[in-house]
Amino acid sequence: MKKAHKQLLAPLAISLLAIGLVGCDEEDNGIFGSGNNNELTLASFDKGIDRQTGREAVARIDTEYSDGERDIDVTNIIGSFNAQNINDLERSIVLSDNFEGTLEDRYIEVNGRNVRQPVYETNSSNKFNYETSYRTLDLSGVSAGSYSLGSSLTSSRGILTDLNNYPNIPPNIEFPTGSVCYIPVTTSDRSFFVFNDKDRTRYDDLDDWVDMTENRFSDNRNFSTTRSNTGINSQLKTAQIRYFAFDNEPEYIFRAVDYDDRIYEADYIDSNAPRPNENSRRGVVDCTLVNEIAADFLEDQIRRYY
């Protein structure tokens, strides 16, 4: 079963304002990993609503990258997770400045913890490089107390793991030896929008999508709206709604593209984006993407305490 894995991309519609950009004092760039040199398995956990009970559902999502494909395995931990929310399509549309192409699973190349996926121009052999390198941080002995919530996001420090996202787990529980988190660092020859049929909204007019998104929250938080054009001869319209971070609420970014008279929400890969933080003494390190040892541990703890 081939399925697209969102972690390869910048998170759809959400950008966490974190986090000072510094070196990687704690990064261990040794032999951490899962699988052979041309296979890489990453695990994460997600929450949703069980449609039958209306209660919270929790799932473990394991994604395996190998040359020419990626496979996703979804395991229900609590309730029945709606797996339809997971992107399972093998081909996505890519739009950039005077460019239209595709991002396809069949072109994936894996070398250790590097996942390369070239973007090919439509009806052409031209391509540009898009690659994600998964840097590692040792989670052995890390607990929920390894993360310190400040009065604002910029004053928070430490290693944020799913031990923090599932607070019923006792705070003294620690990751076992061999636990590793992966920090994705993307590089691209150009910035681009990317989306597919699963991202299609119910709107056929970009203005209607903008009106809805500008009223997405009920707490009157501040936002900005930016419109632009992309694609061949800049003929396609795009919109971005950015909700600003405040207190301990992160920044949220929603983007959409008017493509073929349909409105799609889209990821955006910024070729000039700064690297994610890897130093817990200077900011927050997002460690919610983990190896099999850490994932098995987290699954056991969630089952036990939820």
Supply 133's token pair.
């390198």
- pLDDT beyond 50 at 14: no
- pLDDT beyond 60 at 37: yes
Q: What is the pLDDT of residues 143-163, one digit of tens each?
A: 999 999 988 878 899 999 999
257 HSE (CA, 13 A, CB side): 26
CA distance 225 to 237: 13
Q: What is the pLDDT of residues 192-225, one digit of tens each?
A: 999 999 999 999 999 999 999 999 998 888 999 9
Q: Of 96, 94, 86, 137, which Cα lies nearest the Cα of 117?
A: 94
Q: Name the pLDDT band for 112 (thresholds 50, 70, 90).
A: very high
Residue with tokens 């006792």: 170
User: Do the beta carbons of residue 56 and residue 192 sit within 8 Å?
Assistant: no
Q: Name the pLDDT band for 24 (thresholds 50, 70, 90).
A: very low
Neighbouring-strand partners of residue 130: 188
- pLDDT beyond 90 at 130: yes
The edge-to-edge listing of strands for the beta sheet with 69-78 is 39-49, 56-66, 69-78
pLDDT of residue 30: 39
pLDDT of residue 83: 84
Q: Of 32, 28, 276, 286, which Cα lies nearest the Cα of 137?
A: 28
Phi, psi of 208 (to 5 degrees): -65, -40
Give the three-class secondary structure for 70. strand
Question: How high is the mean pLDDT of the chain?
Answer: 89
User: Do the beta carbons of residue 277 and residue 25 sit within 8 Å?
Assistant: no
Mean pLDDT of 133-149: 97
Residue with tokens 């261990």: 28
Q: What is the pLDDT of residues 56-105, one digit of tens each?
A: 999 999 999 999 999 999 999 999 998 887 887 999 999 999 999 999 99
pLDDT of residue 57: 95
What is the C-alpha end-to-end distance of the chain, expressed in Å? 30
Give the lowest-confidence range in 25-29, 48-52, 142-146, 203-207: 25-29
pLDDT of residue 26: 46
pLDDT of residue 9: 45
Mean pLDDT of 35-49: 90
- pLDDT beyond 80 at 11: no
pLDDT of residue 88: 79
CA distance 260 to 256: 13
Q: Give burial (CB, 10 Å; 0-12/13-18/19+) of 8.
A: buried
CA distance 93 to 5: 15
User: Do the beta carbons of residue 84 and residue 65 sit within 8 Å?
Assistant: no
What is the pTM for the complete model shown? Answer: 0.85
pLDDT of residue 34: 52
Q: Say how many C-beta atoms besides its own lie within 10 A of residue 67's C-beta.
A: 13
Name the E strands within the chain. Answer: 39-49, 56-66, 69-78, 91-96, 99-104, 109-111, 114-116, 119-121, 127-128, 130-138, 147-148, 157-160, 180-188, 192-195, 223-230, 236-243, 252-259, 262-265, 267-269, 284-286
